[in-house]
Chain A
């Protein structure tokens, strides 16, 4: 049964267009020009219960706006959506008790107090029984390695520690749906890995439905099997994460290990040299030409080892977005 159903969802903003200079500012006092920006247009998809889906796209593509629509923060200008059978922007308490939104911003914690005070308030707001509250809190603080930090004011925590506390606040009431908007943004590698590992384990154990937006492809690859790629407000891909490379990458990587200690001159006629570390050389070759290139190279040079691989997802996504003008 689908947990999230989105049909032709659209959101348009009216944005004040300010021209440059003081004169334009004065003119703006009497007459203002507005333009319409379609942040999300005609977006449709469904997500099954327990699925973890990546939402990919360049800045301003409409990912966060879609999450805001699904969490009921904003009202759409067109289309419909239901999450767990609720229309999000009606903001019914019954719905708000069943989902969480985590963004890179300070969100739910009281800044000047230790996080445990905010958690206690969450216990009451979400009507968590005392027994459940203590067992969940112990479990989450241990999993996220923040037990020692519970008594420290939130403002004194590092960004990574704060993000882990935000995750606890978001998960204490055991939401059925979790929206994660760039949860590892600005975190160091260790914190990123901790959050990733935690999310993977937690999602598997609890079977919750998750939508994740992230610019870190490592997050996405570690956590999601399915991805929706969105650009300029519209969905351009909805399918398995692995398909993205297959569908959008025009190239493959050919790695050659030559028998001699050096790499030959003129090899760049077969593709773009990505790395030249004799006796190893990595070439980016057009997909359709891979077999031809392999046979020619094998015939021409003395080669000890050869391998063909897909391009990293990150590169494909970057290429895709720059080609789309995102």
Chain B
């Protein structure tokens, strides 16, 4: 019988990086299996933005100089295009449902019996999904942006660009952590589809996906204290110059703090959830 091997810190870091890389690679291969469905799903995602542009075109049609709550027609189009980019980072289709399903049907056990960290595994799996999505969607994205180039504010300063990239990356993390947290709640309730529905609704209203967040925050000021605004509104608002430069760092810090809070909540939910787990399903 062999005895357990102990590894040095460096060995652990290298081995962990190799596992992440291979999860990423394998998940990308998996993503490309169903080519037709994947290509269709990617293209269909562009439809809502087209309908949004038409909708606002109709609203602004009678008065092209109209400025609605600080947004002209050009501002609205630019806002929706940039929100679309932010959502391409922060939306996590199927993540929470996937975790819940794996808890219900018992397939979650693979994360429990193998020497892997479930959240880490799912994270790299999701990064693979996103990378493949961006690789396919970049063409249509460029086309849409080129067609709408007159509505866009122009290239931002390097400082703003860096802030925007940071906020997009953190939007991805917040989106991932919220959905994985909802998924982990299935250790208690098994079925979380209603929770996911509520989250989708809140996300739609409170992230700035439906309308710019300034319009909502006039009625509901606490909307600014929630993590949702960092999923869509915040990265778009940075590029549109709607975040005052002196508050940019503070906002980015708050966004990073939400990541810490959500990560801690995920770790706690996993720790206690697994203790409750009954491993039903064979």
Q: Which residues of A contact B (CB under 8 A)?
A: 3, 13, 49-50, 64, 68, 71-75, 84, 91, 93-101, 103-108, 110, 112-113, 117-118, 120-121, 124-127, 153, 174, 176, 181, 207-209
Contacts and interface: CB of A to CB of B under 8 A. Distances in A.
Given A113-B26, A124-B15, A101 B33 contact: no
B4 interface: yes
Nearest to A3: B1
Per CB-CB distance, the 6 closest pairs between chain A and chain B, nearest first, are A93-B115, A94-B4, A96-B115, A73-B279, A112-B33, A124-B19
Contacts of A112: 30, 33-34
B22 A120 contact: yes
A124 B2 contact: no
Which DSSP category, helix, strand, loop or mixed, fits chain B's interface?
A: loop
Which DSSP category, helix, strand, loop or mixed, fits chain A's interface?
A: loop
A124 to B, nearest CB: 5
Contacts of A174: 2
Interface in B171-220: none
B274 to A, nearest CB: 8
A125 B114 contact: yes
A91 B1 contact: no
Nearest to A101: B113
Interface string B57-99: 0000000000000000000000000000000000000000000
A209 B281 CA distance: 25
Interface stretch (B46-54, B104-112, B250-258): B104-112
A105 B107 contact: yes
B45 interface: no
A68 B279 contact: yes
B30 A110 contact: yes
A73 B113 contact: yes
Contact of A72 (B4, B7, B23, B113): B113
Given A75-B275, A124-B19, 7 more contacts: A68-B279, A71-B113, A74-B279, A97-B115, A100-B113, A117-B29, A124-B18
A309 to B, nearest CB: 36
Interface residues of B, number: 32
Contacts of B277: 73-74
Contacts of A120: 22, 26
Contacts of B114: 96, 108, 125-126
A124 B115 contact: no
Contact of B4 (A13, A71, A98): A98
Interface string B15-43: 10011001100100110011000000000
A112 B38 CA distance: 14
B154 interface: no
Contacts of B241: none
B279 A95 contact: no
Nearest to A75: B275
A207 B1 contact: yes
Nearest to A109: B110
Nearest to B116: A125
